[in-house]
Structure formats: C-alpha cells, structure tokens
Amino acid sequence: MSITVTLPDGEQLQLPDGATGADAAAAIGPGLARAALAVEVRLGEGDDGGEVRDLARPLPDGARIAIVTRKSGTSALELIRHDAAHVLATAVTDLYDGVKISIGPPIEDGFYYDFEFPPGTSVSEADFPKIEERMRAHVKAAEPFERQDVPVAQARERFVSEHQDYKVELIDDLVANAGEGGDGSPLTTVSLYTNGPFTDLCRGPHAPTTGTVGAFKLRSVAGAYWRGDSTRTMLTRIYGTSFFSKADLDEYLERIEQAKARDHRKLGRELGLFTFSDVSPGAAFWLPAGTSVFNALVSMSRDMGSERGYSEVKTPQIYDAELWRISGHWDKYKEHMFLVESEGRQMGVKPMNCPGHAQLFGMSRHSYRDLPVRYFEPGLLHRNEASGVLHGLLRVRHFAQDDAHIFCTEEQVEAEVRGALQMAFDTYALFDFDVRLELSTRPEKRIGTDEMWDRAEGKLVSTLDELGLSYELNPGDGAFYGPKIDMHMTDSLGRSWQLGTVQLDYSMPDRFGLTYTGADNQEHRPVMIHRALFGSYERFIGIMLEHYAGELPLWLAPVQAMVLPVSDRFSEYGASVRDTLRGAGLRVELDDRSESIGRKIRDAELRKIHYMLVVGEREERDGSVSVREHRGGDLGDMSAESFIERVEGELYSSALTPGKSSERRA
Ligand SMILES: [Zn+2]
Ligand SMILES: [Zn+2]
C-alpha cells in the first residue's frame, strides 16, 4: 500500500502508507528534512490556505503538501510563536506552584498566555528576567513536542486531578460544541501536547522541538478576563514575541522603540501643538502652533475643493431627534451620540454631517442642470466613544472631518467617483506615503435590490479599472446602503491606517425623500456620495506626526522659520525681518530671549524648525539674513526677499496642484 501526495511544483511523490510529513521531507532531500518544521496540507481543490500540521502526523492520501521551513513567512513565525507560548507556560508552571493555565495563542506580533496565579502571587515585568531564563533552559533542551490523541474522559480526568479548571471547562465546551455544530458526531478524543514537564490541551500544530523558538522576549503584562467575559475571573496575560533570529528580534524591538519615540502625544507636547485635559475627555486643546497646522490642512481642503467644484456649507450642530430617526442614526447609532434636551424636545449632537447635508439639499428645488451638487463642510462632530478606547488624536470624541457629500444623477456616478479618487491622489501626493485601495461590496444585511448593487459595484469597479488602479476586494464589507472604496496608507514604520473613503449611498436620498427634476420633467432620486480624504483632521495630524517623527513638511509646519538675533541689540532688526516674512504669508517667529545664539539654534533644532535666520551686525547693515537649514545646512546670506522666493519655490514644488498654490498656504 502506498499514498501519493502532490508537491507545490506539481510533482507527485509516492510514499508508503502511513508516511508522515517528516518522511515526505526526507524523501525530497536531506537539507529539507533538517529544515522542516511542519507541513501544510491541502485536501480539496482551490488555493486558499491549507492546514498546517505536525511533521509527525501521517499524511492523507491525495493531499497537496508544502513543507514549512523558517523561510515560509507568517505561517512559520506563527508556528514558533505558538511553541514559545507553550515554553512560557512551561517556565511559569515550573516557577509558580498552583498556577492555573488557560490559553496561549500566537498573535499578530508575537504570542501571549493567560494564567491565574494563586492568591497572594502577582507577576510584573520585574519577574520577566527570571521567567525568560527558565524559558531559555527549555529552549536549549530542545524538548520534543509530542502529540497524543487521548479519550475525552481521560484528558478531563487528568486536568481535574491537576486542578486545571480552565482546561476542564474547555474540554466540556469542545464536547458540547461537537454535538451542536460540526458534523454532529460526538467528540471522542482530544489532543494533548507535551514538551519536557509540561502538557497542554492543544490543537497544535507545533514544530518538532522547543529548540526552534530562536530569539524571544517577554513584553508586557495585562489583565484579561477569562473568555473576554467581564463577569468571569480576571487572568494575568503575559505577552511576548519571538523570531527565528536575534537580528530579527532586535529589528522588531528597534521599530517598537521608534514608534514610542514618535508617539504623537509626546511630540504634540514637545512641539507645543496640543494638549488634553480630563475636563473634556477625547477632545484636544489646540495651542497656537497646533492650530496653524490644523488650519493649514483645512485651507488646503478648501482650496483643492473649490478648484474642483465643491461648495462649502455650514449646517447646525444639534438636531431634533426626528431628523436622526429619518436618517436611521436613532436606531443604529444613538448610543454613540451626545443627546441634549431643549424645551422638552429631545435633540442629538451630530456625529456625522450626512443627515444635515441631505436636509439642506432637500430644502430647495433642484433641476438636473444643477447637478452634481457638492457640499463640503469641515464641521465639528461629536461621537460618544467609551473613555477606555480614547487615544490621543487617533481616537477622539470631538473632531472635524474633511467631509463632503455629492448629490448627482445615476449617470454622473462614475465621473464623480473618478473625480473624488483623483482628488484623493492629488492630496496624498503631497505626503510621501503609499496608498492602498480596498473595494468593499454588498454585506449580508443591506437595503436595495440586487440589480441596484450590481449596478453600484459595477460602477466602482469600472472606475477603478479605467483609472488603472489596483485594489483589494473586501466582499461583504460594504455599508448597508452601498458599496465603498477605502484608501489606506502605510506609514514610515510600516503600519497601515485607513484614511479616505468614497461611498455610494442609495438609502439616505430615499429616507429624506430627495428629488431633482429630470430632463423629462419628472421627479427623480439623486444618488448621494460620501467622500472624505483625510478622515478626521485630528487623526490625520496624529498619523502624520508619527509618520514624519514630528518633522512635518514645510508647507504644514507650525513654524516655518525662526528669526534668531545674535544679541539683544539686533532684536529690532529681527522683528522687522519677521514682519516682512509674515507679510509674505510665512509662519515665522522671533526668538528674542537673552540667550546665546548657540542655545537659540539648539532650541530651534529641537523644535524641528525648517529654517533659522540668524541676524547680527553684518545682516542689519546689508539688510540680509544668514540662513541655516534644520540639521545644520548653512545656506549663507541672502536678502529677506530672496529667502521668501526660495521658500515659496519649495512650497510650490512640494505642494498641491499648479496654480495659485504658493500663496494659498499662507
Ligand atoms: Zn497550544
Ligand atoms: Zn457622510
């Protein structure tokens, strides 16, 4: 008897019946046999991910297989991180008598394991060296991971006798769920994995031994409810990460350090941009420098929008509950809204601009000749986010979006989507980051007919194709009222952020009874397109601060130049230079403190100010400034006028569409 398996290159391999993944690797070659960690098994057709299994398990006949080695990417890292979680539990059960184990999966950047420590024992980061040392011993011992499939009752008995209540509960759940879901057949065995002194209830897979864990590090401790249920016991979760090599681990830790140094909350304080206070959780207090960054972005949205046919509008902040009932927010979003009462009327503070814009559109008559109507409003929005999820500028309760709503005819949808995408790319081109598009299509719960969705999705696809844009497909992830295109950026630390969105909406115009008079003199429903490019300005500024490590591009910088008199005698000349530059629309400050020029330069460098203009006797006599660029570049003497010209050239080349862009950022 023999079995046949297919290798990734399509070649077929004949092996004796009962052959394992390890046998297959050995049959391919001795090098692979040594490098093999696990085997990926695919049973059906199709190209979606197979199941990663232990090398020691017999292969099913007819399977397509791929040997997993450390070069296999995520699946290999996941494997050793799961191994590392077991090694962590091994060390912890060695060191702490009576500790109860629960679960320990691999996660995106590493792994964790949840424990219940006996009463009176707590674990903190100070205990990590001790635990890590113990882990290293188990890794060094290269203990084999041995899988055993044992009868349910036997496994249960084992964990009962060891007082491992969480494992007992997990087994009972596995039994109960096998009855309900699955194929209906009762569960007879469960798998246990043993390495050295430690045995865990675990589905696997695992590498052959603990020796492949390589480099690891424990990272943090947190409380976590058993099964995420706040009525159950609070367990102690220990997070760690592991890599195949020390170099990879170090690189990862370095990246984390960089991210910490770039934390926008820290930069916001250091650069004097914004601050927070518990008197208004989730709402920034913008200092003058931060306000100028904010305003530079808003005026950019205004200018770019008005060139593209958007009209700015202002709609109310607070609306009667009736409007929110019409828009559907009262049903679906009320708990995220701030509610107020006035003269017995229940009212809600707007969390989005859309209903106000729909209301505004509906308040006048429209002919097909007026369409598309494009409303833009960088208005304030409030969302009642739980205080626990608030995070600097990235998650706030009070914010403004570069929000626009386009009302157009069915025939205009493609051109409008194209216009919105083009505007998005024009905008993002001003920042050096990569943009990724995602198309989200009809969700299970939705309104409208299938024909409507076919048409709407088809329009987005044809527009993307026409623009030659590649995108990822997110089936089922659209809004209930229509499909959407989301835009994501990858920052300098490799993190992904969603920024903009373009959404087709066939529901809101219906709910608000919006119409326009067509060429046929009949009333028709317009289509509504929601469009935002930055998302919220607050969040975008937070992301940009981290992306640029606080060194915002010149056109966005809160202070573009600082005038530094070498002594008090030249303060007056310095002030006149500042005023000239301000007159030209640059954001300039004067440092007239009685400090040494060296100190003033150092302070300006720390604030990451792009240009330092030193003025002393010679400069005053010649009517010039001596220009230094951030990070030490000496550009020599020039007149204030040539400096203005130089900076405007830079703003012009770094920014925006051709046209009047250099004057607009003033
Ligand atoms: Zn496990
Ligand atoms: Zn909207």
| Domain match, 67 and 80 both | no
Q: Which ligand is nearest to the CA of 484?
A: 2
Question: What confidence tens digit (pLDDT) does each residue in 280-311 have?
Answer: 999 999 999 899 999 989 989 999 999 999 99
Residue ranges with strand state E in 215-352: 215-225, 234-243, 274-276, 284-286, 311-312, 318-320, 339-342, 345-349
pLDDT, tens digit, 9 for 90 and up, residues 380-427: 999 998 887 888 999 999 999 999 999 999 999 999 999 999 999 888
pLDDT at 217: 96
Residue among 536, 472, 468 nearest 500 (CA):
536
Task: Calculate how far, in angstroms, residue 204's C-alpha sits from the geometric centre of ligand 1.
Answer: 6
Residue 659 placed within a domain: yes
Same domain? For 520 and 580 the reply is no
The CATH number of residue 476's host domain is 3.30.930.10
The bound ligand whose nearest atom lies closest to the alpha carbon of 481 is 2
End-to-end CA distance of the chain: 81
Residue 256: predicted pLDDT: 85
Tokens 């205990």 belong to 127
Domain with residue 612: its CATH number is 3.40.50.800
Distance between Cα 58 and ligand 1 center (Å): 20
For tokens 């397509």, what's the residue?
64
CA distance 301 to 310: 10
- Is residue 663 predicted with pLDDT exceeding 60? no
Q: How many whole angstroms from 405 Cα to the centroid of ligand 2?
A: 6
User: Does any domain span residue 143?
Assistant: yes
Kindly state whether residues 534 and 636 are assigned to the same domain: no
The verdict on 517 and 569 lying in the same domain is no
160, part of any domain: yes
Q: How far apart are CA 359 and CA 142, in angstroms?
A: 69
**Same-domain status, 56 and 148:** no
Residues 154 and 43 grouped into a single domain:
no
Report the percent of the chain where pLDDT is more than 90.
71
Do residues 389 and 436 both lie within one domain?
yes
- Type of residue found at 633: G
Q: Which of 72, 96, 129 is where one domain is finished?
A: 72
CATH of the domain at 30: 3.10.20.30
Is 83 inside any structural domain?
yes
Per-residue pLDDT averaged across 14-20, rounded? Answer: 93
Cβ burial, residue 652 (10 Å; 0-12/13-18/19+): middle
In 581-653 the beta strands, taken as DSSP E runs, fall at: 588-590, 611-615, 624-629, 633-639
| pLDDT given for residue 666 in this prediction | 30
| Residue 22 and residue 162 in one domain | no
Residue 660 has pLDDT above 50, yes or no: no
Residues with CB under 5 Å of ion ligand 2 are: 354, 530
164, 401, 412, 503: the active-site residue: 401
State the DSSP code for 164. -
Contacts of 160 (CB under 8 A, 6+ apart): 168
Note whether 132 and 192 are same-domain residues.
yes
637 included as an active-site residue: no
Which amino acid, residue 530?
A: H
> What type of residue sits at position 637?
D
Residues whose CB is less than 8 angstroms from the CB of residue 296 and which lie 6 or more positions away in sequence, other chains included: 555, 556, 665
Across all residues in the chain, what is the average pLDDT?
90
- Known catalytic membership, residue 403: yes
Looking at the CA of 103, which ligand is closest? 1
Ligand nearest to the CA of 507: 2
Ligand 2 centroid vs 238 CA: distance in angstroms? 41
Q: Which of 357, 405, 524, 539 is catalytic?
A: 405
How close is the Cα of 88 to the center of ligand 1, in Å?
Answer: 11
Q: Please check whether residues 453 and 525 belong to one and the same domain.
A: yes
Domain boundary among 234, 249, 264: 249
Q: Which ligand neighbours the alpha carbon of 111 most closely? A: 1
Q: How far is the CA of 139 from the centre of ligand 1 (A)?
A: 16
For the question of residue 383 being annotated catalytic, the response is: yes
Q: How far apart (Å, rounded) are the C-alpha atoms in residues 4 and 61?
A: 6
C-alpha of residue 237 to centroid of ligand 2, in Å = 40
Q: Which of 53, 484, 539, 608 is catalytic?
A: 484
Question: What ligand has the least distance to the C-alpha of 87?
Answer: 1
Percent of the chain with pLDDT over 70: 96
Same domain, yes or no: 155 and 187: yes
Ligand 2 centroid to residue 378 C-alpha, Å: 12
Where helices occur in 162-283 by DSSP H, the ranges are 165-180, 246-261, 264-270
Catalytic-role residue among 403, 491, 505, 591: 403
Instruction: Please write the tens of the pLDDT for every residue from 443-492.
Output: 887 877 898 899 899 999 999 999 888 999 989 888 878 899 999 988 88
CA distance 311 to 406: 10
506-533 pLDDT, tens per residue? Answer: 889 999 999 999 999 999 999 999 999 9
- Inform me whether the pLDDT recorded for 665 exceeds 90: no
- Per the structure, the complete domain to which residue 460 belongs is given by 309-315+350-539
Exactly one of 167, 264, 354, 578 is catalytic; name it.
354
| Count of domains observed in the chain | 4
Among residues 64, 366, 383, 610, which one is catalytic?
A: 383
Q: Which ligand lies nearest to the CA atom of residue 204 in the structure?
A: 1
Q: What is the DSSP letter of 554?
A: T
- Residue 484 known to be catalytic: yes
- Among the three residues 35, 51, 72, which one is the final residue of a domain in this structure? 72
> What is the Å distance from ligand 2's center to 353 Cα?
6
Assess whether 334 carries a catalytic annotation: no
**Structural domain contains residue 174:** yes
Asked if the structure places residue 335 within a domain, the reply is no
Residues in the chain: 666
User: Residue 644: CB partners within 8 Å, gap ≥ 6?
Assistant: 580, 581, 584, 586
Q: How far apart are the CA of 77 and the centre of ligand 1, in A? A: 14
**401 in active site:** yes
Q: Give dist(CA 309, CA 322) in Å, integer.
A: 31
In-domain check, residue 27: yes
- CA of 357 relative to ligand 2 center, distance in Å: 8
- What is the distance in A from the centroid of ligand 2 to the CA of 505? 9
Catalytic annotation, pick one of 530, 531, 578, 665 = 530
Does any domain span residue 258?
no
Same domain, 148 and 188: yes
Q: What is the pLDDT of residues 48-77, one digit of tens each?
A: 668 999 999 999 999 999 999 998 888 899
Nearest ligand atom owner, CA of 352: 2
Distance 467 CA to ligand 2 centre (A): 24
pLDDT at residue 434 tops 70: yes
Distance 205 CA to ligand 2 centre (A): 46
**Annotation says 547 is catalytic:** no
